[in-house]
Homo-oligomer: A and B are copies of this chain.
Amino acid sequence: MVVTSGHTVAGDDMDDANPVGPPPKRKPITARELARLMGVSQSAVSRAFTPGTSISPQLRQRILRAAAELDYHPNAIASMLSTRRSNIAGIVVSEMQNPFYPTLIEKLSRELQRVGLQSLMFNITRGSNIEEQLVALRKYNVDAVVVVSATVLSGASLRWATEGRAAVLVNRTIPDQTLTSVSCDNVEGARAIADHFHAIGRRQVAYVGGLPHTSTNLERQNAFITRVAELGMTLTHTLSGGEYSYEAGYRAALEIGQAKRTDAVFFANDILAIGGFDAFKDGLGLLVPEDIAVAGFDDVDMTRWPRYSLTTFRQPVDAIIERTVSLIIEQLSNEDFSPSQNPLSGELLIRHSTVGGRGLEKIGLPLPPQEQR
């Protein structure tokens, strides 16, 4: 870990990497100028732009009209300084290979926008200087921090970075649960997959994980293994892809398929599963799901492609975002707010990768959308 005992080494603030050159630009009109031009006080201008302040509707209208005329907009920086609120949420993201996350982040930032928070992105990647990013997070005085599955951050650095501000971890937890987190209920999901495998008569099952030490992976893996045991099924493999990638899934599937004693595989996410699917089908010539059933997790767009029609556990993206934003707002308004863990229910989507042919009708389930065309 880079952040030690809540402090940071001395030299670190120096390398500010100023993006060069001469300072400002042609300056826009200020509230004072506008006020002078209109013969009112600068405070009046400020009030005109602040809902709920005591100013006569007439004056406010005059001012707003003049402002529009002169293209005046209150300088957000200046008001940040005096209000000590930035109206900015820092979004800490790491690896985004999984298409699930770009989607989530886009929606999240849109929702945050809706409640008046702009999103400042902090990319935390193996490559980048992590501590520098955390320091930046604090210097920019963000009101809130949303950490989206940043596996590379320790609990200690997370606490330091989020200290004194609203914070939510999405799809990630820290062991001591001192930070509030919102996530898909991984245990529910993994159990549902195990139950489904059992229901369709599979008994020799395998698990393929992604990044081994992430809470997401561990929760899914443990819940799956436990449920598999409860149901009396045999766990033939517990593999780790090492990353959440197509290639990792492909490789793991080759290993499992060649051993020929597995009839259902739960991949920790959809990308792994799709890689596995292709490996089984094209690489090994197996039939999916007849020879081997494949299930993923997340429900990314690709799972609905006819080619795959992948059974998966849908993460409740909208609910996750909604809860995240409301928890942020709550923390922003409540002095005393205690951290909570918020596992949110997802949904098992049964498709052709586990129930082939007309099997879906047989068990009375609706056809996946692409079959209804």
Report A's interface with B, CB cutoff 8 A.
Answer: 6-28, 49-51, 61, 64-65, 67-69, 71, 73-78, 80-81, 83-88, 91, 93, 96-97, 99, 101-103, 106, 109-110, 113-123, 125, 127-128, 133, 135-136, 138-141, 143, 164-165, 246, 274-275, 278, 282-283, 301-302, 305-307, 328-329, 332-335
Contact of B282 with A306 in the complex, beta carbons under 8 Å: yes
Contact of B96 with A139 in the complex, beta carbons under 8 Å: no
Residues of B within 8 A of A87 (CB): 16, 18-19
Contact of B99 with A128 in the complex, beta carbons under 8 Å: no
Residues of B within 8 A of A83 (CB): 23-24
Q: Give the shortest distance, in Å, between A350 (CB) and chain B (any CB).
A: 20
Residues of B within 8 A of A10 (CB): 61, 64-65, 67-68
Contact of B13 with A73 in the complex, beta carbons under 8 Å: yes
Q: In the complex, A246 Cα to B304 Cα: how many Å? A: 10
Contact of B116 with A17 in the complex, beta carbons under 8 Å: yes
Residue in contact with A118 in the complex, picked from B22, B102, B136, CB distance below 8 Å:
B136
Contact of B73 with A139 in the complex, beta carbons under 8 Å: yes
Known: A21-B332, A81-B81, A115-B17. A76 touches B8 (CB 8 A): no
Identical chains in the assembly: 2
Q: In the complex, A165 Cα to B24 Cα: how many Å? A: 9
Q: Given A77-B77, A77-B80, A113-B128, list of 13 further CB < 8 A pairs? A: A10-B61, A13-B73, A16-B51, A76-B136, A77-B81, A81-B81, A88-B120, A96-B103, A97-B301, A118-B120, A119-B121, A274-B305, A278-B307
Contact of A19 with B278 in the complex, beta carbons under 8 Å: no
Q: In the complex, A119 Cα to B352 Cα: how many Å? A: 41
Q: In the complex, A19 Cα to B117 Cα: how many Å? A: 7
26 sampled A-B residue pairs with Cβ under 8 A = A8-B71, A10-B61, A10-B67, A11-B64, A13-B74, A14-B51, A15-B51, A19-B332, A20-B329, A20-B333, A21-B333, A28-B138, A76-B140, A77-B77, A77-B80, A77-B86, A78-B81, A81-B81, A96-B106, A102-B102, A106-B123, A113-B123, A113-B128, A119-B121, A121-B121, A246-B302
